[in-house]
Amino acid sequence: MKRARLIARWVLALFFVVAGANHFRAPEIYLGMMPSWLPWPSAMNLISGAAETLGGVGLLVPAMRRRAGWGLLALLVAIFPANLHVALQGHMPGTTLTSLQLWWRLPFQAVFLAWVWWVALGCETKNH
């Protein structure tokens, strides 16, 4: 179980680092996802990209893991409206995702929440 959690932690950390870096590499994708009622879309994109990147790195640093986990959980909840927005729009700018794929992304957020919890906040993670 410890080995599985370690592998899952590294995979998730890599995912968040790559996804976070993508906010800087291709901001148009994320700016197009944001509902019009959100203020400061460029700043929100940069903040969420930095939070994903730092959260991913934090998962790998034992002294930071719990804080990174809580931060990533908060981030996943905070970005849900943007994911819902693109599902309602039926397209995500800069991608070839179909409307059905955008709707399938929504319940997958729960998988990410559980995954972060397991690798960062689970009862066995304090010393690992």
pLDDT, tens digit, 9 for 90 and up, residues 1-41: 689 999 999 999 999 999 999 999 999 989 988 888 889 99
Is 128 within a domain? no
CA dist., res. 126 & res. 94, Å (int): 40
Is 47 within a domain? yes
What counts of helices (H) and strands (E) characterise the chain? 5, 0
Is 72 within a domain? yes
CA dist., res. 57 & res. 59, Å (int): 5
- Is residue 125 scored above 60 in pLDDT? no
Residues 6+ apart with CB under 8 A from 75: 48, 51, 52, 55
Is 27 within a domain? yes
Is 24 within a domain? yes
What is the mean pLDDT of the segment spanning 44-48? 95
Of residues 30 and 68, more confidently modeled: 68
Is 76 within a domain? yes
| Nearest alpha carbon to residue 75 among 50, 108, 102, 48 | 48
| CB atoms inside a 10 Å sphere around CB 59 | 28
Is 126 within a domain? no
pTM above 0.75, yes or no: yes
Which phi and psi (to 5°) does residue 98 adopt? Answer: -80, 170
Tokens of 100: 């059905």
Per-residue pLDDT tens for 88-103?
999 888 888 899 999 9
Structural domain boundaries, residue 73: 2-121
pLDDT category, 124, cuts 50, 70, 90?
low
Is 22 within a domain? yes
Q: How many domains does the chain have?
A: 1
| Nearest alpha carbon to residue 31 among 52, 11, 12, 48 | 48
What's the whole-number average pLDDT of the chain? 92
